[in-house]
Amino acid sequence: MRRNLDGSDRAIVERLSRDARVSNREIAEQLGVTEGTVRSRVKRMEEERQIRITAVTNIDRFKDAALAYIWIEVERSDQTKAIASALADVTELGFVGVMLGRADILAITMVRNAEHLAEFVHKRISVIKGVRGTRSTLGVNFIKHDYRVARIVS
């Protein structure tokens, strides 16, 4: 049974989203609960796949790379799920999502430059059966990049 996150769960997630290496003891002190409470809640949320604690690459440190957004249109809408699944198997892609709007799918990856992006799209994306076309953009200067973007918004 998967439960909704309550206020204490959200407070724990908020604290972990700032620094996932913080100790359960420190979180417990800040929230006024026991360390065991924090430990069991984190364990439950991980087991129920409500959270995942992981390391995140700091894209600000990659001076020779750009974030590439690849907008993909499919030939037929009933192909969208299969194409998105095929894209999810492409190891270089860090994000694949089915979208509403002009594009059917958005894929995100890191590339060295525009030439590298073009080569990647032509060799790895456009060859997938059912892909009608792609449009790409490069993010070159990030004003704000919040690593917690995937957190649960209350």
Question: Can you point out the beta strands (E) in the chain?
Answer: 66-74, 95-98, 105-111, 131-139
Specify whether 95 is located in the same domain as 117: yes
Q: Is the pLDDT of residue 12 over 50?
A: yes
Whole-number Å distance between alpha carbons of 91 and 124:
10
Is 66 among the domain residues?
yes
Whole-number Å distance between alpha carbons of 2 and 114:
44
Q: Is the pLDDT of residue 66 over 70?
A: yes
pLDDT at residue 1, rounded to an integer: 64
CATH number at residue 41: 1.10.10.10
Q: Is the pLDDT of residue 149 over 60?
A: no
Confidence of residue 147 (pLDDT cuts 50, 70, 90): low
| Average pLDDT of span 14-28 | 93
Domain that holds residue 30: 7-47
Specify whether 89 is located in the same domain as 130: yes
- Measuring CA to CA, which residue among 123, 121, 95, 102 is closest to residue 84? 95
Between these two residues, 45 and 142, which has the higher pLDDT value? 45
- Give the total number of structural domains in the chain: 2
Confidence of residue 139 (pLDDT cuts 50, 70, 90): confident
C-beta of residue 12 within 8 angstroms of C-beta of residue 42: yes
C-beta of residue 15 within 8 angstroms of C-beta of residue 145: no
